[in-house]
Amino acid sequence: MSEPVRSSEPASHVRPGCIAVAAAMVLAGSPVAFAQAPVRPQSQPPAGASQSALRFASLKSDRVNVRRGPGPEHAIEWVYRRAGLPVEVIATSDIWLRVRDSEGSTGWVLASLLSGRRTALIEPWEVKGGAARTQVPLMSTDSESAAALAHVEAGVLANVKSCDGRWCLVTVAGYSGYIQQHRVWGVYKGEVVR
């Protein structure tokens, strides 16, 4: 019996000129839909979250087992297959962390499989049936009137360089620019990241 597999990172492509970063949700080579409605950024922790544990992290490996409970004796619920995917740490138990992903699913992973590197998904709640529906401008400065350097499709993974509570400086497919903070999942609403 094979383990459930969860692919949570879109591939991204950049075209010169009028640049667009395309999102293609992939699960073993085929499209995947979100199992639940993706969770929007929030300033409040989820119900049952430990305030001392609450933070965002990213996956270190292309294969991370998510278990039903904190320990190897617990069944594997699914496997993440994308390094860099952001997850929210909501509880701890020794060397195990309970994480929540952008779809709202929770499970336990070994702490050593997570990194403090900050990443974010661009508007994952706008991805429907495996297809992105919106494009988010990647701006040259932290202003709505700035020039758009590129357009990033919903669901694309970005590296977070910094956030000031309103805007995040991110890198996507080699392009660096600003995205409004409320349009990413992987950073709390109003959070400052340095």
Phi and psi dihedrals of 132, rounded to 5? -75, 145
Rounded CA-CA distance 173/97 in Å is: 30
Answer with the one of 72, 94, 117 that is the final residue of a domain.
Answer: 117
| CA dihedral of residues 191, 115, 27, 99 (deg, nearest 10) | -60
Mean pLDDT to the nearest integer, 141-164: 97
Q: Is pLDDT of 48 > 80?
A: no
96 plus 170 within the same structural domain:
no
Same domain for 139 and 172?
yes
pLDDT band for position 46 (cuts 50, 70, 90):
low
Q: Are residues 135 and 68 in the same domain?
A: no
Neighbours of 23 (CB within 10 A): 29
Q: Say if 14 falls within a structural domain.
A: no
Domain shared by 57 and 91, yes or no: yes
Counting the structural domains of the chain, the total is 2
pLDDT for the residue numbered 53? 72
Q: Could you give the CA distance from residue 54 to residue 75 in angstroms, rounded to a whole number?
A: 24
> Would you list the DSSP string of 34-93?
-SSPPPPP-SSPPTT--TTT-EEEEESSS-EEEESSSSTTSPEEEEE--TT-EEEEEEEE
Query: Does residue 106 sit in the same domain as residue 43?
Result: yes
At 57, the amino acid letter reads A
Provide, rounded to the nearest whole percent, the portion of the chain with pLDDT above 70: 73
In a domain, 13, yes or no: no
For residue 62, give the CATH number of its domain: 2.30.30.40
User: Residue 115, SS3?
Assistant: strand
Q: What local confidence, expressed as pLDDT, does residue 6 receive?
A: 57
Kindly state whether residues 155 and 103 are assigned to the same domain: no
Does 113 share its domain with 151?
no
Domain of 176, in residue numbers: 121-193
Q: Tell me what pLDDT residue 136 has.
A: 95
Domain final position from 101, 117, 133: 117
pLDDT at 28 over 60: no
pLDDT at position 1: 36
Do 134 and 165 share a domain, yes or no? Answer: yes
> Do 126 and 106 sit in the same domain of this protein?
no
What is the tens place of the pLDDT at every residue in 90-139? 999 999 999 999 999 999 999 999 999 999 999 999 998 777 678 999 99
Q: Report which DSSP code applies to 33.
A: -
- Exposure string of 148-165, with b = 16+ CB inside 10 Å and e = fewer, is ebbebbbbbbbbbeebee
Domain-located, residue 166? yes
DSSP readout, 154-194? Answer: TT-EEEEEEEESSEEEEEETTEEEEEEGGGEESS-TT-EE-
Q: How far apart are CA 183 and CA 194, in angstroms?
A: 18
CA distance 49 to 141: 35
In this structure, the answer to whether residues 94 and 141 fall within a common structural domain is no
pLDDT for 52: 60
